[in-house]
Each structure stands twice: as C-alpha cells, then as structure tokens.
Structure 1
Amino acid sequence: MTAAEQTAEDRPVTEVLAWSRSLLDPALREAVETLPASIRSIADYHFGWRDEQGRPVEGGAGKAIRPALVLLAAEAVGGDPAEAVPAAVAVELAHNFSLMHDDVMDGDTVRRHRPTAWNVFGVNSAILAGDALLMLAFDVLAASGHPLLGEGMRRLGAAVAELLDGQRADMGFERRADVGLEECLRMAEAKTGALLGCSSALGGAFGGGAPDQVKRLDGFGRRLGLAFQMVDDLLGVWGDPAVTGKPGHSDLRNGKKSLPVVAALTSGTPAGEELAAFYRAGGPPAGADLDRVAGLIVQAGGRSWCRTRADELLSDALRELWLARPGQRPAAELGMLARHSVRRDH
C-alpha cells in the first residue's frame, strides 16, 4: 500500500463526504434562504431539509459528490478549500436544478425514498423552483468576490449548456429505434460528465491551480462523470429500490435508451435482435416484460460491456488526476471518492 493510500484509509469516504458537507451545508442553506418564500419551501423539501408541511426533517439530502470534488480539487492544487466553497455551492445548486427538471421530464414520482418535488407541489411549481436554483448558482459565484469568478461563471454556464444538450438528446433517444452507441456515449458525457468536469476544474481554479492542472482536473471529472453515468444506468435497470430510492427497472419503465440498453441493441447478437424487435413493436416494457427485457440486455452483453467500460474510464480518470500533479492526501481522497462512485453497483 502506498503512503497516499494509507492516508486515504485513515479518512474513509464517509468521513470525506461528511467533511465536505460540513463546509457546504451552511453556505448552501444561507443561499437558499435568500429565495422567495414560495420557492424556498419547494427547495427546502427537495434538499430534504423539510417535509411537505414545512416541518424540519433530518437526512435525505444526498451524498453531494460534486461539491466534494470542488473542495478536494482546491486542496489538491495547494489551495484552501474554504476559498472554493462558493463554487461548491454553485455546482450543487446547478445539479439540483437538473434533478428537479429531470424528475418532471421523466415522470419520476420518487427520489431519495420520498415523493419528488413535482409530485408534491405540482409540475409548474417544481419547474420554477429548479429555474430559481440555477439562477441562484450564478448569483452565489457572482457574490463570492473571487478573482476568478468571471471564469467560474463562464465555465459553469458552458457545463450547464452541455448538460442541457445531453438531456435533450437523452429524451430524443426515447422516440428513436436507431440510437448508436457512440452518440449515446456523447450524450452521457454531456449529461453527466460536463458538470463533474466543471466541478473538479472549478475547484482547481478557485484553489489557485495552474491552467494545465485545471485542464487535467476537468479531464478527470469528465471521465469520472461518464463512468458515473454508466453505473447510474446499470442501477436504473438492476438497482435495488431500497438503495436507489426509485422503483425497480425504473429506466426501462421510462423507455430510456441508456448505455446498457443501447450496447445490447447494437451488439449484433440474437438477444440484441430480439430486444430490438421488442422496442420496435411498442412502447416501454411493463409488468412481466420488464424482467424479460432486462434479461435480454444481459444476454446481449449490455450489462457486462457497461461495467467493463466504467472500470476503464475510472482508470483513465485516475491517470488524468495523477497528471495534474496534485498533493498527496487530497489526491488519494479524490481517487478513493472516484472508485467509490464507480463501484456503487458492486
């Protein structure tokens, strides 16, 4: 075991995430508190801070992987993580904007083991609340006074634009029978990789990193983000509802052409042909067909391809991290967080 690995073992991933939360949460709550009361109540519910009646509750706020990347990346280039807190808040707000809109577009009724915001407050209110979170993300960066706030706002804006393009492609795939694997990979990198790359790069920039370090950190986050999406897609088909907080086979129910599905459809195998015939015949699977379709994806190699590719992307991400010349302890913890994020389905 290397010295870096030993250091990371002394602070397990749960402790790293708790440390990140301790820096993030006060500033995040302070930012959300500035929203109009009608919007704030929806945001408070979505973040897991309050119930439908506005009563305080504990838990349900998610792991906040993206803010942890910001703070660790700042430390990795020799900076003070406290200086990067506004960037961490901004990416968490932007991420939750996308989650609130995703839930509406996908018709998901459950997130983190309780009804989604639109399911409680209505579609229009949830859309407006998501818009407000995105507006607030840029406001937090603008108010930070950081010398690189202009660069940070442009970087976040570009990442959100890429995310939106990926989400549009994802929705478009649901209506198509001819989705290619390469375009599905580009969609997933835009939808998830862009914001994780932005998170790592913002941390590096706000931590005072050199341009080449920031570029490598962006590459680390992008590759990690694509691997992360692959694992999300695996969980969207085979994840345990008790762990994911969503119904079983949720992506199949929604007609998603996710990466394991497209890998199976384009495999050229008999199972892939049978799967393609099923999708051509009608709408998304339901009832007993859900298990049948999931089994065909496995037989066609979609599940194993996705798992193998996620591990390859993790290796690529860790190589980019090493090339950023990070400090030993934060590098070890970034690597540990990356491995934890990509092996959630094990």
Structure 2
Amino acid sequence: MTAPENFQRFLPLVEQGLRRALANGPDELLRASRYVLGWEDASGRPSSGGGKRLRPLICLEVAAAIGVAPERALPGAVAVELIHNFSLVHDDIQDGDAIRHGRPTAWKVIGQPQAINLGNFLYARGIGQLTDCSLPGAPAALRLLVDAIERMVEGQWSDIAFETAAQVTEQEYLAMVAGKTGALLGAAAGIGSALAGADTRSVEAFRRWGELLGLAFQVRDDYLGTWGDPDATGKSASSDIVRRKRTLPVVYALAAGETDALSAYYAEKNDGRSSGLTPEAVAEILATRGAREHTDALARRLAADADDALYTVAELGHDTTTLRALAAFIVERDR
C-alpha cells in the first residue's frame, strides 16, 4: 500500500529544502549526505534510494491543517529529516545493519569512523535549521526537537540493552519505541504546529498524535521485519532474528511460552550462532505462538488511538482529513 496520494503533495518542497540545507560545506561530507538521502549512489551518480520523508511531510501537513502556507514550517521539516537520517546512520553502525533502502548502509560504504562523522554532520545541520529560524515559534520548535533527540537516544540505549536482557515486557518495549520512534514523529507534528503559530494546546495535541502514530509505525515495522517481503521493504526479513533483536513479536512470543528452543535462541550471544533454529524456523515459531496476529492487531489499535487523538485537534478547528488517512496507510503499508 502506498501513502495517500495527497500526502505526497509537499514532497518537492521538502526536497528543495533539504538540498538548500546541504548546498554548501565540506565536499566529502556533502557527498556522503547525498548518498544517505538517496540522491546519489556510492559512485556519485544520480539515484533515487531515499526514505519515505514521512516526518517532514507530517510537519508540513500539520502546518497546512492549521491553515498556513507549508513553507512556513519548512525549516522544521528539514530539521526533523536531517535528525532522522543522523539517527539512522548511527543506528546502522550500532546494529551492524548492512542494507537500508535496498542498498549498502553508509558505514559499509565509507567505514564506521567516517559514518559517525557523517551522522554528527547531519545532526549539526538539522539543529541549525531551527537555530537560524526567526519565526516566533522557532524557540518552542527547537525545544521540541532537542527533547525528542534525548528521548531517541534513550530509546536506542534501551533497544540495544534489550538484546541481552533476561526478559523484556511489552510495556517496557512500547516505552522504548515511544522514545526511539514516537518522539521524533511527535516532534515533527508539534514543530509544524509551533512554526505555524498554533497555541500551546494545539502544539501538544499534534505532538501527541504524532507520537502515537510513531508507535503504530514501529509496531508495523516490526511486523514487516519478520514477515515482510524483502523486495518491498528493501531490507532482510531475517537480520533482526539473526541479531536476537527483541522486536514486538519476539517479546510477545517469549512471554507466551515456556523455556524452550526459542528462549534458548534469544539467550545466546549475538554472534550469529544458532541453537539449531534457522531464522525461518524462528519466524514460524513466532507465528505459531500468535505473535503475528498480535503484532498486526496492536499496530491497528495504536493507529486508532492516534486517530482518536485528532479529535482534540478537530475541536480546535483544524482540518484533519489528510492526517487521518495516514493512520490507515501506517497499518496497511508493505514497506
């Protein structure tokens, strides 16, 4: 399933803003940034391998919902997308992921040390979008972004810690996701409303909606990470299993079963060795224990919660038509 057609309407504006933000600077860092954003391949040739631009588009859609020109929120949209890519570059190093969007991750192309530098560069450019912004809502937008970054780092810490934890509850897992994924999506929505000149109540309502949407997005991502089509998602469906990553299906299945081959598999060191289970066998056990149905149902419930959060936004007189269509896309998408 593709995103709502209307949701793509501001994509050219996002791309223009990103290119302006990366128009000048150190040549090698700019070249690596163009690769990460999908504009070029590893040899510097034009390509189209970037992400969904979900966060900046949400930022601009929120501004439009409030009734102002989306250009007003463009500094925030560019900021959240650059921060998002900073986190992906560093996460790929920490997780050892070799493929993203169907091609080698940054560290596989330029090495881990330089990829760390690249992530830091994207971080600095992202923060700069709001420190250089003169709109009245810019200080509040910057505070939202900084708070989200701190929560993202905390979430990533927990995510890594979960890989060797004896037990992880679903509540703990969702708290981690609220930081790692929900925080920046929430910030994107909140920043869009802050730069659009919305009042404090509206900013918080939009931020809350975005965070719930982020939770639904990550749970759906966990589903696709285990049972998705690699040709559609652009990444392996077994990498999380091989790394013993505690995704939502794993957390659910381990809580639902007694000590057995599955729990032994996830108790092993993350060194690629297996206790006789292949990734395909692990995925089958997860499905047998009801994790597939539970993960799908939870993503839908969280999307419904996000939709409910929009009632506050609607009560404040904002148009939520396009924003509501996003919830359906989040839980039905195949990539």
Tell which deviates more after alignment, 170-179 or 321-330: 321-330
Cα 1:111–1:293, aligned 2, differ >3 Å: closer, same or farther? same
TM score, norm. by length of structure 2: 0.93
Q: Give the Å deviation of 1:78.
A: 2.1
Alignment-derived partner of residue 279 in structure 1 = 266
Alignment-derived partner of residue 190 in structure 1 = 179
Unaligned 5+ segments in structure 1 are: 1-11
| Contact 2:265-2:277 at 8 Å conserved across structures | no
| Contact 1:75-1:327 at 8 Å conserved across structures | no
1:93-116 deviation digits (Å, cap 9, x = unpaired): 010011111111111111111111
Alignment-derived partner of residue 4 in structure 1 = none
1:130-161 deviation digits (Å, cap 9, x = unpaired): 11111111111122211121111111000010
Distance in 1 of aligned mates of 2:268 and 2:143? 45
SS in 2 for 1:266: helix
Distance in 2 of aligned mates of 1:332 and 1:278? 45
State which of 213, 228, 232 in structure 2 corresponds to 1:224.
213
Equivalent residue runs for 1:283-298 within 5 Å: 283=270, 289-298=278-287
SS in 1 for 2:168: coil
Distance in 2 of aligned mates of 1:201 and 1:285? 44
Distance in 2 of aligned mates of 1:96 and 1:299? 35
Q: Give the Å deviation of 1:277.
A: 2.9
Alignment-derived partner of residue 32 in structure 1 = 22
| Contact 1:76-1:326 at 8 Å conserved across structures | no
Distance in 2 of aligned mates of 1:150 and 1:69? 20
| Contact 1:48-1:59 at 8 Å conserved across structures | yes
2:51 matches 1:51: no
Distance in 2 of aligned mates of 1:327 and 1:61? 35
Alignment-derived partner of residue 325 in structure 1 = 314
Alignment-derived partner of residue 7 in structure 1 = none
TM score, norm. by length of structure 1: 0.90
| Contact 2:7-2:322 at 8 Å conserved across structures | no
Q: Which runs of 4+ in 1 moved over 6 A?
A: 326-329
Letter in 2 for 1:126: A
Unaligned 5+ segments in structure 2 are: none
Alignment-derived partner of residue 105 in structure 2 = 116
Q: Give the Å deviation of 1:342.
A: 2.2
2:298 matches 1:309: yes
State which of 145, 162, 178 in structure 1 corresponds to 2:151.
162
SS in 1 for 2:79: helix
Alignment RMSD: 2.0
Letter in 1 for 2:9: W
Give the total of aligned pairs: 332
Distance in 2 of aligned mates of 1:327 and 1:333? 16
Cα 1:215–1:327, aligned 2, differ >3 Å: closer, same or farther? closer
| Contact 1:233-1:251 at 8 Å conserved across structures | no
1:191-225 deviation digits (Å, cap 9, x = unpaired): 00000111111111111222111111111111110
